[in-house]
């Protein structure tokens, strides 16, 4: 009985850990989304999702990715 | 696989994908989106990729700050599924797709090198064509002069 609960606890703990890792990885990947625009004088503008320009450019980038990967 | 309507451009792209392991696919196009060469086997996909890159560049050009007159030279768009890079020079643009989290500086360097190689080759070709045309004109002039003296 005690052995069963230990195994159950381990399975539950592993599942929770895996879920946490997946959550953090997905979140950090989503947070990494951006568009960096570079100009001739060396200046750069970084656009994040949520900004008007970022939300306009990211779907275009996704379309290029989709076209490339088919 | 490199589909290349023009050998120089195809070679430049082949060199690019050979030196840069991070680049999955790349397309070289004119500023209007017409494909010059690509590593995508399907012409339709290459065209869609080139047109998408032109659209991305055009939209990115609109974000230039107030009073900014500097031209846009390159764009990196990072998404969850991968990154898109577009670099342009006076005549062409090269767009590439990579997996997530690439080494941005390296990819930009490789794309610029590709455009530089292409530009150098086109200049060499143009210079050779000019020399050949001059030589032809000189030969023709000599022939005309010789014919005139003979008559």
Interface probe for A, chosen from B52, B70, B108 (most Cβ of A below 10 Å), is B52
ipTM over 0.85 threshold = no
**pLDDT score, position B121:** 81
Element (H, E) at A35: strand A34-39
DSSP string computed for chain B: --B-SSHHHHHHHHHHHHH-TTEEEEEEEETTS-EEEES-S-HHHHHHHHHHHHHHHHHHHTTPPTT--PPEEEEEEE-SS-EEEEEE-SSEEEEEEE-SS--HHHHHHHHHHHHHHHHHHHHHHHHHHHHHHHHHHHHHHHHHHHHHHH-
Show the low-confidence residues of chain B (pLDDT under 50). 1-5
What are the structure tokens assigned to A11, written together? 């399975």
CA distance A11 to chain B (A): 30
pTM of the model: 0.75
Asked if the C-beta of A32 comes within 8 angstroms of chain B's C-beta atoms, the answer is: yes
Judging contacts by C-beta atoms under 8 Å, the chain A residues touching residue B82 are 65, 69
- Which residues sit opposite B37 in a β-bridge? B28
Task: Report the pLDDT value the prediction gives residue B131, as an integer from 0 to 100.
Answer: 74
Q: Are A59 and A70 in contact (CB under 8 A)?
A: no
Which one has a higher pLDDT value, A70 or B25?
B25
Query: Is the pLDDT score of A6 beyond 60?
Result: yes
Identify the bridge partners of residue A36 per DSSP, sorted by sequence position.
A46, B76
The pLDDT tens digits for A13-50 are 888 888 777 766 655 555 689 999 999 999 999 999 99
* Interchain pair B78, A33: CB under 8 A: yes
pLDDT, mean over chain B: 86
Q: What's the confidence (pLDDT) of residue B98?
A: 96
Could you say which of B52, B63, B64 has the minimum Cβ distance to residue A67?
B52
């Amino acid at each position: 009985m005690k052995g069963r609960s230990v195994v159950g606890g381990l399975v539950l703990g592993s599942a929770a850990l895996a879920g946490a890792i997946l959550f953090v990885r997905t979140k950090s990947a989503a947070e990494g989304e951006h568009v960096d625009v570079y100009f001739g004088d060396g200046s750069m503008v970084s656009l994040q999702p949520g900004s008007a320009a970022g939300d306009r450019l990211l779907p275009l980038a996704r379309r290029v990715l989709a076209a490339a990967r088919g | 696989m490199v589909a290349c309507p023009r050998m120089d451009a195809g070679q430049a792209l082949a060199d690019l994908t050979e030196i840069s392991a991070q680049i999955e696919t790349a397309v070289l196009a004119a500023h209007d989106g017409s494909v010059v060469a690509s590593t995508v086997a399907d012409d339709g996909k290459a065209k869609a990729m080139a047109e998408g890159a032109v659209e991305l560049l055009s939209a990115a050009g609109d974000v230039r700050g107030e009073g900014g007159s500097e031209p846009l030279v390159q764009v990196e768009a990072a998404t969850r599924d991968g990154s898109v890079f577009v670099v342009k020079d006076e005549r062409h643009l090269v767009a590439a797709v990579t997996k997530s989290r690439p080494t941005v500086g390296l990819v930009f360097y490789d794309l610029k090198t590709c455009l530089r190689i292409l530009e150098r080759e086109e200049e060499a070709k143009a210079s050779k064509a000019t020399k050949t045309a001059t030589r032809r004109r000189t030969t023709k002039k000599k022939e005309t002069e010789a014919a005139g003296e003979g008559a």
